[in-house]
Every structure is written in structure tokens, then in C-alpha cells.
Amino acid sequence: MNFELILNEIGENSKLLQSSPVSGGDINEAWMLQTETRKYFLKTNREESINFFHAEADGLKEIASSNAIAVPFVFKTGTIDCVPFLLMEWIEGRKTEHTETELGTKLAAMHQTFHTKFGYGSDTYMGKLPQKNGWHKNWVRYYRNERLKPQLELAIGRGHMPVPRRRSMEKLLMNLDRWLGHHPKPSLLHGDLWGGNWMTGESGNPVLIDPSVLYGDHEFEIAFTELFGGFSQAFYSSYQEAFPLSEGYEDRKPLYRLYYLLAHLNMFGESYGRAVDQIISRYA
């Protein structure tokens, strides 16, 4: 990979002093590039099209436009030697006693950035899985048709939907309005907010990374943060104070977790099947 050529594309003419591999991700290759003037974070992926990084860059810019919470600045997406890349600001810092409280408050502010419809104007990704989008006036219709149904169809194609599970899932989809009968506003959501998708910036401020943005029910986001952990009570307390969850959230939470568990079933296999079945059996 010609790092100097990538830096030249953004007008960075100072000398490249260091290029070091960065570990931690399981989808992309990543490097820290240090020049005489600053550090950059570079991601590449030989298996995906440039659309993969265009979607990420677009999501970061959408979040930035809310002026609610920090994200890395995107310098460039492109292709070098037939390899797609994404060049961003390098984020590095230490947590303070206020970082996670600030994360809750600022995420709540982002979630109070509203649209007139649910969905998004371009397609995104969940991990490596493509996600179709579109605009819907009705949240339940969006969630059923653009999120749960595509994962069901993919699971059928990949052999993860034995007949009993498939029938129960289809029954759940038919009755989804019964369980999601509240009326949320279309909030700007990160879309893939687990504990590894936020960082701490130089001043101890929270920074969101790797989004899969949409406008949807803000409870959808919070339900996922509770699925795999990584968020403190300070985060939830400050969030709840700024943007309280509606009555009945605990009843809706498993349905919102279902999408992410289906996606993990499709990405990683039957180890997630039991968790999927437990949710389906509750509502089907």
C-alpha cells in the first residue's frame, strides 16, 4: 500500500515518519500514519467495494451535522492500487470521570436530532452485511421490511432458519404492530452502537466511530447498548435524564435486540440461535 500517495491526495506534503498496523478490528486492515504535522487513521479492505467506506464516511458526516457529539473527521475515501481506503483523523485520549456521563448526554442530544420520516437515504452495512434503506412514514413498517425481513431471508438462504424457527419468526413479523404500538419520532441513530464503537478523544470527550446510521426509534439504539455491555450506569443515568425512555420500553427491548441477534446469527452462525429463539418464543 502506497501511504505517501494516499496522503498526497489530501494535500499532505510533509514527510511520512511512521506507519504502524493497528489491531482491534476483524473486518478491515488499519494503520496509524504519522507525518511531520499530524497523525492519521487509515482503513483498507481488499474484499469490499468502495461503497463500504462511502457508507461509513457518509454516516460520520451525518452524525457530525447534528452538532451533538464528536466523530472522527473524514479526509478522504478512495481507491489506491484497486484497494478501497478510508482516511480519517486519529483519535486518542484518556477517559475522565465525566466521559461516560457526557456520552449519555451527548447521545441523547444526537437522538433529539429528528427527521420527518424513518429510515435513511442510502444503503449501509451491519458488519459486512449490506443493509437496504428507504424512507417510511411508519416506524414498524420500516423495522419490519428494512431490518427484520432481510435478516430472515438471509438466514433462510444461509441455512440458519429451521422450519419451527422460521414459522415463529414469520408469525412475529405479522404481529409486530401489536408489540411496537407506541409512536416514536425519527431520531438520528448511530445504528451499531456497541461498546467498541465509541472512543475517548484528546480532552476526554466521547467520540463515535463505525456508524450504520438511520433515523428510527431511539429505544432501538439503547436496547443494543444493553445487549453486549460496555456502557456504565453513569451513561444510562445521564441519557435517561436528557431523553427519557417511554413506558413499555422493557417489553419492546427484546424485539429491538432481535435484529442484532439475527445479524450475528447470519455473520457468525448458530451460536446465536438460542438467543434468537428465546426472543421469538416470547412474542410469536
Among the listed residues 67, 66, 83, 86, the one whose alpha carbon sits nearest the alpha carbon of residue 75: 86
Among 192, 217, 251, 277, the one annotated catalytic: 192
CA–CA distance, 107 with 100 (Å, rounded to integer): 10
Three-class DSSP labels, 63-118: HHCCCCCECCCEEEEEEECCEEEEEEECCCCCCCCCHHHHHHHHHHHHHCCECCCE
Grid cell, residue 54, equals 462511502
Q: How many residues does the chain have?
A: 284
Measured CA to CA, the distance from residue 120 to residue 215 in angstroms comes to 6
Alpha carbon 105 to chain centroid, angstroms: 18
For residue 244, report the phi and psi dihedrals to the nearest 5 degrees.
-60, 145
Let me know if 192 is a catalytic residue.
yes
Catalytic residue annotation = 192
